[in-house]
Amino acid sequence: MKAIIDWVDSRTGVKKLTHEALYERVPGGARWRYVWGSTLTFAIAVQFITGIFLWMGYAPSGQTAWESVNFIQNETTGGWLLRGLHHYTAQIMTVLLILHLMQVVIDGAYKAPREVNFWFGILLLQLVLGLSLTGYLLPWDQKGFWATKVATNITGIVPGIGRDLQRVIIGGADYGHHTLTRFFALHAGVLPGALIALLVAHIYLFRKHGLKAKEPVKGPDVAFWPDQVLKDAVACLAVLAAVLFLILRHKMFGGHGPVGAELGAPADPSEPYSAARPDWYFLFLFQFLKFFPGETEIWGAIVIPSLAMGVIFLMPFIGKWKLGHRFNIGFLFAILIGAGFLTYLAMAEDKNNATYQVAVKEAEADAERVKVLATALGVPNGGAVLLLRNDPLTQGPKLFAKNCANCHRFDGNDGMGNQPKNSQSASDLKGFGSREWITGLLDPEKIATTNYFGGTKLKDGKMVKFVKKNMPDYTPDQKAQLKKVIAALSAEAGLKAQGALDAQDTAMINEGRTLLKEAMKCTDCHQFRAKDEEATAPNLTGYGSREWLMKFLNNPGHPDFYGKKNDRMPAFGEKQILSEQQIGLIVDWLRGDWFEPLVQVKQ
Amino acid sequence: MDSQKSGQTDRRDFFRKALAVIIGGIAGIVPAIAGLRTFLDPLKHKSDVAPSGVPLIQVTTLDALPNDGVPRKFPVLANKTDAWNKYVNVPIGAVYLRRTPDDKVEALNVVCPHAGCFVDFVAEKGNFLCPCHNSLFTMDGKLADAKSPSPRALDSLKVEVKDGVVSVAFQNFEAGRPDRVPVS
């Protein structure tokens, strides 16, 4: 063994190097306040290791970025842990950077002869922030997409070259494949390369000038090894523990949130995202911008932050003046407190912002849904974004809220869980076509309420009169008949949720069909399973089925439906207010017809 | 007295050194293990051949296969999963089909068992030639040359002809070995 070490040593000088590395003098003894540089080096090492492994599963393009990240996160062994480590170490690194900077400024370690190294440190800080910014986009989820869009739009306001600069950064006029390839090359190539070069220089200069001890020293000088190394190792382990805690916190302590790093729904330029926020360490800048209206934005986005950075850069010179050191400390704390306060303001504002809260909830639901769909169905060639665009459970409520909820309700709200501004003036469509819904319709107490015809001009129509006049006096026999008719009419819809019930009650349904025509006299006005030119009310054949509803939404004023008696409902299809696909999504959603994986049902 | 004291310092020193190495080691190894675990994920997903055997895939009709005993190449279409994408009815390989003089259909996987290139049928010579390393096979897929780089004959596949439709139990086998081992 010794012979091998000697052989290597005589050719590389490795012994001397190790000795220099380990026996660096620590003036005044090992101290906890010196650990920050080492923890940062550790964090950078973690990012390199986890980053390279993530690289092996990542595919940067508009149709594969989210898909590959989702595959890492949800389908690959331990992918959630790997991604969690990378994500949260990046966050902790920002904290460590601030702590390191504070320690350097407070201890006066930026002063001569360490000025250049201080500048290297500030450049490293900028590189790490650059890595955070570029990394935020790479999963190509809604959050990263919209937040980065804001960030790159800010580069657009740089005077003169701004627009060209923005174009170069995003690789064209709009966001797409080239934005990802460029950001990825920056994130995994250019910036880490520059980081290593600067880090080597930073550590070299640190060794050259030695550690700047905090005065007054507490004891005799010691060597770096083992005392300071032990402290550094403990600090690194604490960093790792904090990262692991952040990854596992929702799993360990319950609560709401993902295990590991968050992954939103895939980026969709056509789907506005009001929950877009930068990561927390850029929130202060985000909030700061709100104070600069219109043309003055450049002050908040570029001029003032650059000036602050400039002052930090000049600290080694400012520190030479009598009160300079105190000014530097004061300035740094003022920035940190200011940034902290702005961050608090941003968070507090969001907390009290109902629109934002709704957007966050919606985003979480979309993220959860697309994960289920991607796992169960696989991703189509056009990307996972199509899974959500073609999903009734996702799009139905959104389309309903936008197009139907002005008059209608769904379970008392607009389908998204919000209360529309206008009061309800048409039926509540939750469970439309189900036995329960039809039972309510044929209930003399309920038919004239706003949940059925109460809000429309049909409240004085024949149907309401018929129900109110006849049904209260029904004999028990007639009530039993009504029940069968309801079952028969509801079976026309062929609802998924009622499938088992319909299959079980075939005899009753058959009986109901006959009663509907005869005893109940429905066919006096309605058509049912037979052509009737004189029918004056909506056709009951296939009532509530996909086909029936598609035609109804296409034009409710068609003679097959309300004809001229139609109240205010627009012909969504014929007037091209909605496309056939959109109508289909609303219809499927109303009918409770969307993809459910088997596992989900089991739960 | 002095030696006892220095012995104690030595022990404490050793203890601190050991602790530094262990703690530092744990901190460093966790991300590496997390990465390796994900990296080695492909080893976990070796699928076994379904117990029902290799599924038959319809390739062509008997009419499309001339009675001249000359092999024709046909693509094999099936559903395919590639990481996150699921494809429906895409080419997953190709086969040479040949009607033998006794009116049976033989199927050969087009992949050369040497290194995985697609072999060509050379009509003039009536044999299969691999364009990569010149492995030579006879028309029924056997090795045509004792010095052929291929360790085994072309892989023949099970064929079923039913109602004029030719189906093949399509399967790939690991290249570069004398025995046939299905790729799993």
Nearest CA in chain B to A86: B31
A269 CA to centre of own chain: 14
Give the minimum alpha-carbon distance from A475 to chain B in angstroms, rounded to a whole number.
Answer: 58
In a domain, B177, yes or no: no
In a domain, B49, yes or no: no
Q: Residue A298 CB: number of other CB atoms within 10 A?
A: 15
Nearest CA in chain A to B82: A378
In a domain, B181, yes or no: no
Backbone dihedral angles phi then psi of residue B76, each to the nearest 5 degrees: -110, 120
CATH of the domain at B123: 2.102.10.10
Give the minimum alpha-carbon distance from B28 to chain A in angstroms, rounded to a whole number.
Answer: 8
What's residue A429's pLDDT? 96
ipTM: 0.85
One domain for residues B147 and B108:
yes
For chain B, 184 residues long, the average pLDDT of each consecutive 10-residue run is 68 89 94 95 73 83 88 93 89 93 90 93 92 92 89 94 93 92 84
Q: Is the peptide bond before A226 cis (omega within 30 degrees of 0)?
A: yes
Contacts of A239 in chain B (CB under 8 A): 27
40-99 in B: which are within 8 Å (CB) of A?
40-41, 44, 81, 83-87
Structural domain of B39: 2-44
What's residue B147's pLDDT? 85
What's residue B1's pLDDT? 45
One domain for residues B24 and B62:
no
Is B158 in CB contact (< 8 Å) with chain A? no
What's residue A28's pLDDT? 86
One domain for residues B112 and B155:
yes
Compute the distance between CA of residue A116 and CA of residue A215 in angstroms, rounded to an integer. 22
Query: Average of pLDDT values for A466-493?
Result: 93
The band of A348, judged by pLDDT with boundaries at 50, 70 and 90, is very high
In a domain, B174, yes or no: no
One domain for residues B131 and B161:
yes
What's residue B3's pLDDT? 58
One domain for residues B157 and B79:
yes
Give the minimum alpha-carbon distance from A64 to chain B in angstroms, rounded to a whole number.
Answer: 9
Residue A256 has pLDDT above 50, yes or no: yes
Contacts of A380 in chain B (CB under 8 A): 85
One domain for residues B115 and B92:
yes
One domain for residues B39 and B127:
no
Between the alpha carbon of residue A415 and those of residues A405, A432, A590, the distances in Å are 8, 13, 10
Is A227 in CB contact (< 8 Å) with chain B? yes
What's residue A601's pLDDT? 43
What's residue A406's pLDDT? 93
Give the minimum alpha-carbon distance from A35 to chain B in angstroms, rounded to a whole number.
Answer: 13
% of chain A beyond a pLDDT of 90: 74
Q: Give me chain A's average pLDDT, please.
A: 92
One domain for residues B83 and B30:
no
One domain for residues B127 and B91:
yes
One domain for residues B87 and B147:
yes
- A240 vs B30: CB contact, 8 Å cut-off? yes
| A81: nearest CB among B13, B34, B39 | B34
| Sequence ranges of the domains in chain A | 35-263, 392-602
Between the alpha carbon of residue B24 and those of residues A232, B16, B19, B116, the distances in Å are 8, 12, 8, 46
| A82: nearest CB among B35, B44, B81 | B35
Contacts of A85 in chain B (CB under 8 A): 30-31, 34
- A75 vs B84: CB contact, 8 Å cut-off? yes
Task: Tell which CATH classification among 3.30.300.30, 3.30.1300.10, 2.60.40.10, 1.20.810.10 matches the domain A35-263.
Answer: 1.20.810.10
Contacts of A46 in chain B (CB under 8 A): 31
pLDDT digit string, tens, across residues A514-552? 999 888 889 999 999 888 888 889 999 999 999 999 999
- B39 vs A56: CB contact, 8 Å cut-off? yes
pLDDT digit string, tens, across residues A128-150? 999 999 999 999 999 999 999 88
CB A329 within 8 A of CB A118: no
CB A213 within 8 A of CB A27: yes
The band of A126, judged by pLDDT with boundaries at 50, 70 and 90, is very high
Helices (H), A319-431: 324-351, 354-377, 385-389, 392-403
Is A42 in CB contact (< 8 Å) with chain B? yes
Nearest CA in chain A to B88: A380
Q: Residue A563 CB: number of other CB atoms within 10 A?
A: 14
What's residue A224's pLDDT? 85
Best residue in A76, A93, A386 for a mutation probing chain B (most B CBs within 10 Å): A76
One domain for residues B63 and B138:
yes
Task: Collect all residues with Cβ–Cβ distance below 8 Å to A385 and sequence separation of at least 6.
Answer: A66, A266, A267, A268
| A237: nearest CB among B26, B38, B87 | B26
What's residue A270's pLDDT? 87
Report the number of distinct structural domains present in chain B: 2
Residue A598 has pLDDT above 80, yes or no: no
One domain for residues B31 and B63:
no
What's residue B5's pLDDT? 66
What's residue A494's pLDDT? 94
Query: Average of pLDDT values for A477-503?
Result: 94
What's residue A20's pLDDT? 83
Greatest mean pLDDT among A80-89, A283-292, A463-472, B65-74:
A80-89
Is B146 in CB contact (< 8 Å) with chain A? no
More confident residue, A418 or B128: B128
In a domain, B60, yes or no: yes
- The DSSP-derived string for A188-243 is IIIHHHHHHHHHHHHHHHHHHH---PPSSP-S--EEIIIIIHHHHHHHHHHHHHHH
